[in-house]
Amino acid sequence: MMPGPTESEAPELSVVIPVYNEEENLRPLIEELGGVLEELGRRFEVICVDDCSTDRSAAVLEELRRTRPWLKLVRHTANSGESAAQATGFHHARGGVVVTMDADLQHDPHDIPRLLDALTEGVAAACGVRQKREDNWVRRLSSRIANGFRNLVTGDRISDAGCTFRAIRREALREVPIFNGMHRFLPTILRFQGFRVVELPVSHRPRVRGQSKYGIGNRAWRGILDCLAMRWYRRRCVPAQRWAVERDEGR
Ligand code: UDP
Ligand code: MG
């Protein structure tokens, strides 16, 4: 096993994984992910943010960490949602590039090298688009409607906002406001900020263990409000590139 980063050697890559009641998925996930990351030959860390799970997730993660120095654990004291868990992970990440993925094995770690390759110079984020979506038809249809509606309202054109499998430059993440629902608008916000965002197909696997935390009820109405907020944000935000230039000139 390749050693993880020592304290003096900051990792180049940070993988951030929100975890809420995923006890059965964590061992196979960390084993598969560890194999892929070791192959990459870059210094890496994996940050699992336990969003106050009520099952054995915390104990399983603790157990996995014993033999993996690159595995970092952070725990929320209250269940705060996927966006909050991502944000906590971003806060702790030290790599120049941050990969976000779910803990439920629906994202295939073997896609990570392709996500990283797509992050060419000048590109701030490479976002996965689930090619063959392994969810039931109700979820697929509601996603389709949601993506169409959000692109219409926000003026963006993101193919699959619900896919949180992404590689993002940490520098760009500094410009992203944190709010509940942020994880679905991250590529849109980055574009509004003037960053280049690309999309690429990723595989999608069915959720075999544990339960999805979302249904139509807790996604639809909030999603509509969020879209309106993004429309406002698009008009009002101060793009990062602009203030970065002004800041340099003011020196
Ligand atoms: N998650 C979380 N806090 C929550 C809900 C979900 O950290 O309050 C995590 C969850 O464990 C998973 C990811 O966010 O790793 C995505 O959740 P889920 O798979 O339920 O979403 P779906 O894939 O069904 O959209
Ligand atoms: Mg999932």
Q: What is the mean pLDDT of residues 198-206?
A: 95
Specify the pTM. Answer: 0.92
CA distance 56 to 182: 27
Would the CB of 104 count as within 6 Å of ligand 1? yes
pLDDT at 251: 44
- Residue pLDDT, tens place only, 62-119: 999 999 999 999 999 999 999 999 999 999 999 999 999 999 999 999 999 999 999 9
Torsions phi, psi for 65 (to 5 deg): -70, -30
Residue 152 pLDDT > 90:
no
Would the CB of 23 count as within 6 Å of ligand 1? no
Give the three-class secondary structure for 3. coil
Would the CB of 53 count as within 6 Å of ligand 1? no
Q: What is the set of domains in the chain, with CATH numbers?
A: 13-248 (3.90.550.10)
Q: 52 alpha carbon to ligand 1 midpoint, in Å?
A: 12
Q: 22 alpha carbon to ligand 1 midpoint, in Å?
A: 9
- Residue pLDDT, tens place only, 35-64: 999 999 999 999 999 999 999 999 999 999
Q: 156 alpha carbon to ligand 1 midpoint, in Å?
A: 24
Q: What is the CA radius of gyration of the chain?
A: 18
pLDDT at 33: 98
Angle at which helices 182-192 and 82-92 cross, to 10°: 60
DSSP state of 162: T
Average pLDDT, the chain: 90
- Residue pLDDT, tens place only, 17-37: 999 999 999 999 999 999 999
